Chains A and B, each alone.
Chain A
Amino acid sequence: MTTNPGTRSTRAAGRALRLGGSLASVALTIAITLLGLVALTFFIGRIVPIDPVLTIVGEKAPPEVYDRVYRELGLDQPLITQFLYYLRDIARGDLGQSYTTDRAVLSDILRFFPATFELAVLGIIIGVALGVPAGVIAAVKRDTWVDHIVRIVALIGYSVPIFWLALMGLLVFYAKLQWVGGPGQLDIGYAYSYTRVTGFILVDTALSGDWAVFANAVSHIALPALLIGYYSMAYISRMTRSVMLEQLSSEYVLAARIKGASEYTVVVRHALRNAAIPLVTIVALSFGGLLEGSVLIETVFSWPGLGNYIAQSLLGGDMNAVLGGTLVVGTIFVLLNVGSDLLYRLLDPRTKAAAQ
């Protein structure tokens, strides 16, 4: 077709306008969702029967001290004023002080988050690398022994409490076989032989150049990472199987077989390509779940992560830390959702035009 330069530049302008428009709408979505999230954490903070003043001053403080702290915290102000102050503080990156660690909540979170992030990344890599192929094979070999094995393995991952698996794992692979390191990120002896740069234990110990420390870190992270990986593999393989079954019974898959396409082409090029679209969302959300920190895994393995931090804060009645943690986790979820939505649009040609 002949296109004169005039229409081409008009088209380019149109595309730029659409891009700007869709970015603006994405930004607006994020903003509204986050505002809702902040409002939610704020009101949860007001509703819970934990008195923040008491947490600070203690049970035996005289009433005038109690009143002074009450006013200092701004609790005498109307709710809406309190909310506006809360918004202002969050915009400044101030999530308040943690009463238990006596540090800013944000710096606490930044300190604990990398440990969780590292576990979650390893977990999701294992989960996707094993779960997607397992789900695909189970769907293709539906109702054969291969399918049954995949489903039973997934069912166990689903239904056995993860803390029990963690304890059994420690008992067998650490206490008995001594294949892996115990709880914590490193053996005590190595604790001070590296410098914290990124907060990711594998990266930092590798940067230290001492391979013994790195190997020790690997031996410690292996078991919790595998368990989280197994847990996410159970979910991902199940979802992959059901999405693939749906695609494999669709008309265009039959059409592909009629073309004489090989089984590999039918499964990978046709069915999996379409299954990938919903799978992006499934993987993104399960990654979000892992980032929130598996409290149970982090507790059993004494892992200095976000889940552990939030759980400890909750037990100590440290609402600033709990709400700050919730806010961070919620924000990550929102961003992952938006990210998977954008990826979804790029993968699906029916919505691609809108994303470009």
Chain B
Amino acid sequence: MTELLNVTGLTTSFHTSRGRVQAVRGVDLTVKPGEILGIVGESGSGKSVTCMSILRLLKRQGRIEGGSAVFDGRDLMELDEDALTDLRGNEIGVIFQDPMSSLNPTLTVGEQVIETVLRHRNIGRRAARARAVELFEMVRIPSAATRVDAYPHEFSGGMRQRVMIAIALACEPKLLIADEPTTALDVTIQRQILSLIKELQGRLGMAVILITHDLGVIAETADRVMVMYGGMVMEEAPVAEIFALPRHPYTRGLMASIPDPRTAGEGRLSPIPGTPPDMSDPPKGCPFAPRCPVAMRVCAEEMPRLYEAGGPANRSRCWLMDEAAPARAPYNTEDAA
């Protein structure tokens, strides 16, 4: 199956008064049509910047310093601004974390859907409005026909996120980027929004990149997971496999730090000690080495490559995957599971 999105060697830095912050350091990722790729990592791991770089919508100080992102046969890094704006909101839709601030407070919610439709479809206002009502019904906003004329402040957080989804899906994109779509919402609403995204993904057959720091969200929603740390891909695997056998010490650390309902009450949660590296002066070797419980001397000195680990779709950036590494359960031996 050919890929919908193929990113290679993506490198992005922010030039701030404190110097150059290397937010993304050579990320490769692929998304196949119709699949859900979960990107997981702590804040500052570069997951959001990766996606904003793909859309070429970085903050002022941000610079894409290298790499390519081929989407549906076109390299997004080479496209001119006109072609890019034709693509954004049309072939790629985006949902943000905070639906409170991502809607324009002075325009009705319907208007914010209509303007997206009018921008990309050659139809009249009346048809665009009908489309907005249809989208509101699709994301299950009650009494859609009257609610299109309401303002964002008249909506709850969950309802606003539904509006954002309606906007993102207005032109039936091939790819939906959902950047922490449930983080700012109540727990009960989170579940509704996630299942809505999953349901619509199935119905519209689009691919989804789901960015989150919540492994539970990944387990429920994604087909494949990519774990990011220090602006790099640390591990990548199909979702069932990564939960059965996480290979990278960082992934293990992440899993140990979330409560597991099956083992609730037995044993304590163990958060990963230490803090993520300062990306204006990243470590020479593996970025996780200073916090890694099984770090070796080589880890601090040389960057490990992404090893194939356990299958053609599984990759892990860890020296333990190297053939010269000592066999160390439960990290790099199959009997660990």
* Chain A positions near chain B (C-beta within 8 angstroms): 1, 142, 249-252, 254-262, 265, 269-270, 273-274, 277, 347-350
Contact = CB atoms under 8 A, between A and B. Distances in A.
A257 B58 CA distance: 11
A348 B153 CA distance: 11
B104 A1 contact: no
B102 A259 contact: no
A252 B116 CA distance: 13
A257 B88 contact: yes
Nearest to A248: B60
Given A1-B143, A142-B60, A250-B101, A259 B89 contact: yes
A261 B115 contact: yes
Contacts of B164: 255
A257 to B, nearest CB: 6
Contacts of B120: 260
Q: Max chain B CB contacts within 10 Å: which of A250, A260, A269, A349?
A: A260
Contacts of A261: 85, 89, 115, 119
B132 interface: no
A1 B145 contact: yes
Contacts of A260: 85-90, 116, 119-120
Contacts of A265: 115, 119
Contacts of B106: 273-274, 277, 347-349
A251 B101 contact: yes
A255 B115 CA distance: 12
B115 A251 contact: no
8 contacts: A1-B143, A252-B105, A258-B89, A260-B119, A269-B115, A270-B107, A273-B104, A349-B106
A350 B107 CA distance: 11
Contacts of B90: 260
B102 A255 contact: yes
Contacts of B104: 252, 255-256, 270, 273-274
Interface in B79-105: 85-90, 93-94, 96, 98, 101-105
Contacts of B239: none
Interface in B140-176: 143, 145-146, 151, 153, 164, 167
B296 interface: no
Contacts, number: 78
Nearest to A254: B57
B55 interface: yes
Given A251-B96, A265-B115, 5 more contacts: A1-B145, A254-B102, A260-B120, A261-B115, A269-B115
B57 A258 contact: yes
A330 to B, nearest CB: 32
Given A348-B106, A349-B151, A259 B143 contact: no
- Majority SS at the chain B contact face: loop
Nearest to B93: A258
Contact of A252 (B57, B85, B103): B103
Interface of B: 55, 57, 59-60, 85-90, 93-94, 96, 98, 101-108, 115-116, 119-120, 143, 145-146, 151, 153, 164, 167
Contact of A349 (B88, B94, B105, B167): B105
A75 B90 CA distance: 79
Given A142-B60, A260-B87, A255 B103 contact: yes
Q: Max chain B CB contacts within 10 Å: which of A142, A252, A350?
A: A252
Contact of A274 (B59, B105, B108): B105
A270 B93 CA distance: 19
Given A142-B60, A260-B86, A349-B153, A1 B146 contact: yes
A252 B85 CA distance: 16
Contacts of A259: 88-89, 115-116, 119, 167
Contact of A350 (B55, B60, B96, B105): B105
Contacts of B94: 255, 258
A220 B96 CA distance: 57
A260 B79 CA distance: 14
Contacts of A252: 101-105
Contacts of A1: 143, 145-146
Nearest to B90: A260
A350 B85 contact: no
A245 to B, nearest CB: 10
Query: Closest 5 CB pairs between A and B?
Result: A260-B89, A259-B89, A251-B101, A260-B88, A349-B151
A250 B102 CA distance: 8
A257 B119 CA distance: 12
Contacts of A142: 60
A348 B152 CA distance: 12
B238 to A, nearest CB: 29
Nearest to A252: B104
B57 A273 contact: no
A143 to B, nearest CB: 8
A292 B218 CA distance: 64
Nearest to A273: B106
A144 to B, nearest CB: 12
Given A250-B101, A260-B86, A255 B119 contact: no
Given A1-B145, A252-B104, A255-B103, A350 B153 contact: yes
A254 B101 CA distance: 10
A277 B104 CA distance: 13
A254 B59 CA distance: 9
